[in-house]
Chains A and B, each alone.
Chain A
Amino acid sequence: MSDTAPKPRPQFRNISPVDLMNYRLPMAGKVSILHRVSGALLFLCLPLLIALFAMSFVSESGFNAMSTVAGNPIVKLILLVLIWGYLHHFCAGIRYLVLDLHIGMDKESAAKSASMVLGVSLALTLVFGLKLFGVW
């Protein structure tokens, strides 16, 4: 008989929001929960996005009025968050599709691809954000 039985792993059950603040997720965990949060956000804002699309699509005057609507700082901020949500959900989703093909499954590659997803989606958000706020 072997006497080198592994020590029981620490268990975290019924985590309260206070514990969540101190619970350090690995990179892949951060991407995962943000995938869920961004998806929920896009789901909740879907009618708003369709309304904006309808305005821009149905008439030329509506299309031209979009710049006024999007000129509102609050609308701009909401759009920026939704742009991040879409980009993060997109990039993380591509990562999951690749993982489904059993590519990059080992610990190091998975952590690396998770950091890439966070970085690329934030960088693209910056690019679209600069465009949105009319920097160029």
Chain B
Amino acid sequence: MTPVEKIGPKRLVVGAHYGTLDFIAQRVTAIIMAVYTLVLLVGILTMSGFTYAGWKNLFTFTCFMLPVGQILATLAIISLAWHAWIGVRDIWMDYVKPVGLRLFLMVLTILWLVGSIVYFVHTLWRV
């Protein structure tokens, strides 16, 4: 009988996704943030003087009455949190071996990131 630990086409595959979603999410969110960074940079460089009105407009401009500036910034912070979750979770998985402590740190990470999203989105949409 083939040993079950054999890696390759004959491996006994059971239900698991082997981190494919995380791999793709990490890269897609990275691209979203990189593009948004460049959009902001172009916005700042093409501003006529670095004023409060111009700065605010970067995040509140509208397009056909839609709050596009706020929507883009919200998508960016969600991408950031998802990206950071994967990266920080990998750090805990690499260096923290006791399961209880690792779980505790992961929960703390989620609270930290969700708290950051709420803080940012609240600030962004109340003006």
Instruction: Select B31's contact among A40, A46, A64, A97, beta carbons within 8 Å.
Output: A97
User: How many of chain B's residues touch chain A, expressed as a range?
Assistant: 20 to 34
Contact B84 A97 (CB under 8 A): no
Q: Does B52 contact A (CB under 8 A)?
A: yes
Contact B88 A43 (CB under 8 A): yes
Q: Does B123 contact A (CB under 8 A)?
A: yes
Contact B123 A100 (CB under 8 A): no
Q: Total contacts A to B, CB within 8 angstroms?
A: 56
Contact B116 A47 (CB under 8 A): yes
Q: Does B119 contact A (CB under 8 A)?
A: yes
Residue of A nearest to B30 (CB): A93
Residue of A nearest to B84 (CB): A43
Contact A50 B59 (CB under 8 A): no
* Contact residues of B between 57 and 79, Cβ < 8 Å to A: 59
Q: Does A53 contact B (CB under 8 A)?
A: yes
A60 to B52: give the CA distance in the assembly, Å. Answer: 6
A90 to B37: give the CA distance in the assembly, Å. Answer: 10
Contact A40 B88 (CB under 8 A): yes
From residue B111, how far is it (CB to closest CB) to chain A in Å? 11
From residue A86, how far is it (CB to closest CB) to chain B in Å? 8
A43 to B84: give the CA distance in the assembly, Å. Answer: 7
Contact B37 A58 (CB under 8 A): no
Residues of chain B contacted by A90 (CB below 8 angstroms)? 34, 37
From residue A105, how far is it (CB to closest CB) to chain B in Å? 17
Q: Does A54 contact B (CB under 8 A)?
A: yes
Instruction: Select B30's contact among A40, A43, A97, beta carbons within 8 Å.
Output: A97
Binding site for A on B (CB under 8 A): 27, 30-31, 34, 37, 52, 55-56, 59, 80, 84, 87-88, 91, 109, 112-113, 115-116, 119-120, 123-124, 126-127
Binding site for B on A (CB under 8 A): 36, 39-40, 42-43, 46-47, 50-51, 53-54, 56-58, 60, 63-64, 90, 93-94, 97, 100
Nearest 7 pairs of A and B residues by beta carbon: A63-B52, A54-B123, A60-B52, A46-B116, A50-B120, A39-B87, A43-B84
